[in-house]
Structure 1
Amino acid sequence: MSQSKGRYQQNLRADAARVLFQILEQGMSARECLPAAQQDHNEKDKAWLQEMTYGVLRQLPLLQHWLRLLLDKPLKKNVKVVEHLIMLGFYQLAFSRVSTHAAVSECVNACVPLNAIATKGLVNAVLRNFIRQDTAQNLPDNEQVLSGQPKWFYKKLVDAYPDNYKTILDAMQVKAPIWLRVNNKYKSTDEYCRLLDEREVAYERQAAQHQGIILSKGCDITTLPGYDEGWFAVQDGAAQLAAGLLGSQPNDCVLDCCAAPGGKTCHILELQPDIATCVAIDIESSRLKRIEENLTRLGHQATLICGDASKPTSWWDGQLFDRILLDAPCSATGIIRRHPDIKWLRKSSDIDVLVALQSKIIDAMWALLKPGGTMLYATCSILPAENQLQISAFLNRTPDALLDDKFENDAAQKPGRQILPGEKQMDGFYYARLLKA
């Protein structure tokens, strides 16, 4: 290996360790810190960085268990990042196809760009002990550790789904597929599938998803046919249900509340181009920019407003809406398989705060809905407190609210419909359709 290549590989592992440190020690999201680490690398190594950091996040309790077995005492703050480098080494040795020599030597060399040269001997000893003692076969008799989930979330899952929590846990550890939603403004789904066939891009379709395509393996989305032309959007199958369930009609006034990044806004406009107005609000101006980018690429128009959904008097013009999609801020526990950093950024105490905010927003939005109108409440959570219990409480305190249960699929899940991670290859999602009497 040349000197420049060696330095490059050192930086790659050092960058992975830094990203893990930023997420787990500093509370940054992967969306914040991973792109910054990837920018100095080629496409192959960008993918490697994501694969390795997400892999460590998926298996973190087990990697921490091994770290406690092999590291005499926690490292001090100025070299704490080296613990994350060691866990990266464990992950490579236990879960990837990298050679043992490469995993050890490259992690040891990565101590240099991490400004932790003094720990090279320690990293070498710990990783070699891991190999010599066959530590990867030392699995604890602890279901929570093996599940890859934090204790608080594991307990909530067992409480909420006592009969099938193990299936849910298994599904959450599987890498999520890439779903496309074909923009039928430009191409029919069949036409777009023919374009993928011509490029020999493997995919499958779900009968219930008219515009949905599941790619059989990951790829650079921007290289697919019609990316710049807006012929498709990337959107999970569960999220693709929202626009259809909202059921917008010609001449409706529609509000998409907490709309960023705008996938559902665009889908609403694709399914019903003859609505009178489509207003999309979000509390952060930076997130509104993402909605605007998606609308522009996909060839749609909507009115964008930066506003707090819990305080509509600050932005609402007084015009009532026929349809409101409330994609409520939530724990995002249904998309952990896609964004494994979520489970380490959330705490149990966050759930009560989110439930209170959801309650405030749903009451505020209900006042903006016309009599006879429809509100679709949605979350990407699988926790009942944010979903069934939230809607039950709303129905109990709101005399003019009725539940439209036509699309509910399981009496035990009522009210609403809870989609669980992996169900028909979809993310975890919840929907409840509410009618104003």
Structure 2
Amino acid sequence: MSAKRPQEGSGQEVRAAAARALAPVLSEQGSLAGLDEHSVIARDRGLLKELCYGSCRRLPRLEAIAGKLLKQPFKKRDQDVNALLLIGIYQLLYMRIPAHAGVGETAGAARLLKKEWATRVLNGCLRRLQRESETLVAEVDRDESAALEHPAWLLNALKSAWPEQWREVVAANNEPGPMTLRVNQRVNDREAYLARLTDQGLDAHLCLHAPDAITLETPCDVSQLPGFAEGHVSVQDEAAQLSAALLGPAIAPRPGAQVLDACAAPGGKTAHLLEQFDIALTALDSDNQRLARVDDTLGRLNLSANLIHADAAERDWWSGTLFDAILLDAPCSGTGVIRRHPDIKKLRRQSDIGQLARLQAAILDNLWGLLRPGGTLLYATCSVLPQENAKQIDAFVARTPDARVTTPTDVAWGMASGYGRQLFSQQNSHDGFFYARLKKQPA
């Protein structure tokens, strides 16, 4: 007799969906950016996201425990089964899911992957974890990478760069980031919008550093945000919102200023600049699909920009008109936003950092030639690694005689780091970010 197929919306279905989403991450062939929350019924979407993001957040420890439970690793073609085991471990150690569901539904989900043979393996491993969890966790936690839930190369890089701050950075990386909003000042001020949130029963508080930012006490679906569909508010981290304040002095006195947002997708900073200033903005990105997200964002906010699909390291897209200001939100390791993109722990490699630094340098050199004398370039990354940040800007200034540093020193956020300012992820606050502001000296 064949096994009875679970009903739609069963615990097995959501776990199978999570395994399918995680398998490309584990094989380093994809990321959680493509997670389809609509692959499960509405009631299971929160659980699907928690299983995927939570398992990635704790992955170094989960993989170490899996290694203790298995007699031999799964074959490459069985990364979906491997994902089920990691999801099962995550549920037993970190979630308030009854153990019988964490074990039974996870093991049973293998049938939906057409791998019924794996149900017995998964059931045995997870039941052993139930019996021996304290011993197994203590064993794997002898390795610092497992105990702190970060890849060893990244731990070493953080310790070397930030001997006083690295433990706080690691702790913040291991917790979900808060949901922060950016109030559209063209529509209302943030105190008024805070009152609207309160009326909706959504508790929130004003952020300390970004003047348009509000952080919710508990994240919610954007459909619950008053005026979201009408463009009254957007979701954007507080650190990312600082770019508009940093570019403001260069473009506010120049109505109609020509501004370039290089590497613009998904468009949060693009939109913020257009909400704040009356400018002619060009938004550039090398990824056409991500550029479409910029278009969607601007459409919701009733804003417009010149969108160009092109490489910021090249000039074949440029009309020849010099820009008054350039925002370069450079491609980077994302080590400042690991808590929002925990698959970085699996997908990023130490060798990537040098490659990214060389790309950043090429883009910087290229874009500097598109800036008018007297214009301002703001360099930004969501990284906490000096090779992409302070060292990058140090080297650029050294080889660029007409670059003058104007990064503010009298701000209450971040810390001085070379010619820029470094922010670290803060629990219940902003992400990790780096900013350096440069002015092009007239000839």
Q: TM-score, normalised by structure 2?
A: 0.93
Q: Which residue of 1 aligns with 2:60?
A: 61
Q: Which residue of 2 aligns with 1:270?
A: 275
**Are positions 1:283 and 2:282 aligned together?**
no
Q: Which residue of 2 aligns with 1:217?
A: 218
What SS does structure 2 have at the residue aligned with 1:230? coil
Q: Which residue of 2 aligns with 1:97?
A: 96
Could you tell me how far 1:423 is from its partner in structure 2?
6.9
Write the mapping of 1:43-54 to structure 2, written as runs, cut at 5 A: 43-54=42-53
**Are positions 1:337 and 2:339 aligned together?**
yes
Corresponding residue pairs, total: 430
Residue 359 of structure 1 aligns with an amino acid whose one-letter code is A
Q: Give percent identity, aligned residues only.
A: 41
What SS does structure 2 have at the residue aligned with 1:238? helix
Could you tell me how far 1:271 is from its partner in structure 2?
1.3
Could you tell me how far 1:52 is from its partner in structure 2?
1.2
Q: Which residue of 1 aligns with 2:27?
A: 25
Tell me, in whole angstroms, the C-alpha distance in 1 between the residues paired with 2:228 and 2:42.
18
Q: Which residue of 2 aligns with 1:392?
A: 394
Residue 304 of structure 1 aligns with an amino acid whose one-letter code is L
Residue 119 of structure 2 aligns with an amino acid whose one-letter code is K
Could you tell me how far 1:197 is from its partner in structure 2?
1.3
Residue 371 of structure 1 aligns with an amino acid whose one-letter code is P
Residue 401 of structure 1 aligns with an amino acid whose one-letter code is A
What SS does structure 1 have at the residue aligned with 2:39? coil
Write the deviation string for residues 219-248 of structure 1: whole angstroms up to 9, x where unpaired. 111221111100011110000000110122
Tell me, in whole angstroms, the C-alpha distance in 2 between the residues paired with 1:7 and 1:307.
43
Q: Which residue of 1 aligns with 2:232?
A: 231
Write the deviation string for residues 345-391 of structure 1: whole angstroms up to 9, x where unpaired. 11111111111110000011100111111110001111100000000
Residue 255 of structure 1 aligns with an amino acid whose one-letter code is L
Unpaired runs of 5+ residues, structure 1, are none
Could you tell me how far 1:75 is from its partner in structure 2?
2.0
CA RMSD of aligned residues (A): 1.8
Whether contact under 8 Å (1:408, 1:417) holds in the other structure is no
Write the mapping of 1:226-265 to structure 2, written as runs, cut at 5 A: 226-247=227-248, 248-249=251-252, 250-265=255-270
What SS does structure 1 have at the residue aligned with 2:354? helix
Unpaired runs of 5+ residues, structure 2, are none
What SS does structure 1 have at the residue aligned with 2:73? coil
Write the deviation string for residues 391-426 of structure 1: whole angstroms up to 9, x where unpaired. 000000000001113236677522100000117710
Could you tell me how far 1:16 is from its partner in structure 2?
1.1
Q: Which residue of 1 aligns with 2:71?
A: 72
**Are positions 1:9 and 2:14 aligned together?**
no
Q: Which moved more, 1:220-229 or 1:369-378?
A: 220-229
Q: TM-score, normalised by structure 1?
A: 0.94
Could you tell me how far 1:47 is from its partner in structure 2?
1.2
Q: Which moved more, 1:355-364 or 1:102-111?
A: 102-111
Tell me, in whole angstroms, the C-alpha distance in 2 between the residues paired with 1:434 and 1:98.
52
Q: Which residue of 2 aligns with 1:186?
A: 187
Residue 148 of structure 1 aligns with an amino acid whose one-letter code is E
Specify whether residues 200 and 373 from structure 1 end up closer, same or farther in structure 2 by C-alpha distance, changes over 3 A only.
same
Tell me, in whole angstroms, the C-alpha distance in 2 between the residues paired with 1:245 and 1:99.
49
Tell me, in whole angstroms, the C-alpha distance in 1 between the residues paired with 2:346 and 2:204.
32
In structure 1, which of residues 316, 319, 335 is the aligned counterpart of residue 318 of structure 2?
A: 316
Specify whether residues 310 and 122 from structure 1 end up closer, same or farther in structure 2 by C-alpha distance, changes over 3 A only.
same
Could you tell me how far 1:40 is from its partner in structure 2?
3.0
Tell me, in whole angstroms, the C-alpha distance in 1 between the residues paired with 2:166 and 2:387.
16
Write the deviation string for residues 264-292 of structure 1: whole angstroms up to 9, x where unpaired. 1111111112x2x1111111222221111
Residue 56 of structure 1 aligns with an amino acid whose one-letter code is S
Specify whether residues 4 and 393 from structure 1 end up closer, same or farther in structure 2 by C-alpha distance, changes over 3 A only.
same
Q: Which residue of 2 aligns with 1:372?
A: 374
Could you tell me how far 1:137 is from its partner in structure 2?
4.6
Specify whether residues 80 and 256 from structure 1 end up closer, same or farther in structure 2 by C-alpha distance, changes over 3 A only.
closer
Could you tell me how far 1:76 is from its partner in structure 2?
2.6
Residue 90 of structure 1 aligns with an amino acid whose one-letter code is I
What SS does structure 2 have at the residue aligned with 1:240? helix
Could you tell me how far 1:134 is from its partner in structure 2?
2.9
Write the mapping of 1:48-197 to structure 2, written as runs, cut at 5 A: 48-135=47-134, 137-139=137-139, 140-197=141-198
Tell me, in whole angstroms, the C-alpha distance in 1 between the residues paired with 2:218 and 2:334.
24
